[in-house]
Amino acid sequence: MSDAYASLADVLDRLGELTGRPGRLPEALDVAGLSYRTGIPVGDVVELLSGGRATETGLAQRVRQRLDFIRETRRRADGKRYSLDELARIAGTSRQWLSVWRKSGMPSLEHADRLRRFFGLPAGFFTADEPEALHEALQPVLQSLEAEADPLLRLRESGLIRLAARAPQMNARQLATLADLAEMIIASERAGDTGRA
């Protein structure tokens, strides 16, 4: 578990640099959103973001807590809470099995994965310990802040900077075509994201 805390500490240090609020990340980040994505209670998210430790929980207890968290935070289209019968259908099992799961905290991987995918939760949602789950949830936040701090970072990492270095060898038409191609790719991806949402 100490490795998970060490990895999280590295991310928190970098986020502190990027936000200008080292040690005060709960003020700079969306604590409620991180809780919603990870299943970690808001108080524990604040504690972890502040460099502290989460309340130690065993795997079975963590799985139970995350299942209950889904029931409390995810709503049907009509705004109502999912019943145990509905969650059992989503998981592809019976209500009785789901009740046993809630008591024992030990689901089958197949049923847990069906619930996870239905609600769009990250892999390991039910089993990842708190520092691991928060570390994963912070990755997109970190990438976004790093991109804002250094807009060329992603281009360098992807190798596109080599393409830019060839610009002096290209004529105006070639450069315009390359720019148009990049815009088409971005527009295509946005349209695809909109279609999936």
Q: What are phi and psi of 158, to 5 degrees?
A: -85, -5
Task: With cut-offs at 50, 70 and 90, classify the pLDDT of residue 1.
Answer: very low
How far apart are the C-alpha atoms of 112 and 119, rounded to whole Å?
11
Query: Residue 113 has which token pair?
Result: 């994965």
- % of the chain beyond a pLDDT of 90: 39
Q: How many residues does the chain have?
A: 197
Cβ neighbours of 27 (radius 10 Å):
11
How far apart are the C-alpha atoms of 168 and 174, rounded to whole Å?
11
Cβ neighbours of 157 (radius 10 Å):
10
pLDDT greater at residue 104 or residue 31:
31
What pLDDT shows up at residue 12?
93
Task: With cut-offs at 50, 70 and 90, classify the pLDDT of residue 43.
Answer: very high
Query: Residue 121 has which token pair?
Result: 């939760």
How far apart are the C-alpha atoms of 81 and 75, rounded to whole Å?
5
Say what the pTM is: 0.71
Per residue in 147-157, pLDDT tens?
888 766 666 66
Question: In the chain, where does DSSP find H-type helix?
Answer: 2-19, 25-28, 31-38, 42-49, 59-73, 84-91, 95-104, 109-118, 130-149, 153-158, 160-165, 172-196
